[in-house]
Amino acid sequence: MRTDTRSTNATRRGFTLLEVMLALAISITVILVARGLVEQLNVADARLDLAARAESRARNSTRILARALDRLEVGTDSTRTFAGDVGTMTFTSWCDAAGGWLERCLMRLSLDTTSSNTRLVLRTSLGDSLALPGNFGGASFRYIDDTEDPKAWVWRWGPGVNAPTVIAIISGPDTVLYRIGPRG
């Protein structure tokens, strides 16, 4: 009796349909998981970028305010009067102009209150406006001239050509002092 050796010794070539479908399902699952991870990374990156920009704005606005008060012009013929009360002050300072030089400008620093919070806003006659970050609810300005009485903080200043020696921004338990720049 003769047996057919071809059918029993035949080797299998290729993949079955079930194996191909299983490989495709695993590949699709891996791609979908990877896509989800990439999307999460993009969202996290956007959040970090937004937070970095907010921090940069906060640091720059504080630096710009300090520079404006340091450049505050006092005691010259072309100086406009310095005037201030508990919520607003106006003064002449030197602003950075577009060409990279300094330009004399009138500035107004005020506590602007809206329904939700109080912001500290610096506006210039050049059209620039800058709001410092944070809520300044209950904040106020104080002024001192240490040449008269170094312990006498006042609520109102001017209007006059002379500016105070030090300006304080008091917000809750915090007080920030700004020494006015060189005397003219």
Q: What angle do CA 180, 85, 176 make, to 5 degrees?
A: 45
Q: Alpha-carbon distance 152 to 143, whole Å?
A: 9
At residue 22, the pLDDT reads 93
Q: What's the rounded Cα separation, in Å, for the pair 7 and 5?
A: 6
Which residues in the chain land under pLDDT 70? 1-11, 75-80, 146-150, 161, 181-184
Mind listing the pLDDT tens digit for each residue in 153-171? Answer: 888 887 776 788 888 998 8
**């299983």: which residue's tokens?**
22
Contact 38, 45 (CB under 8 A): no
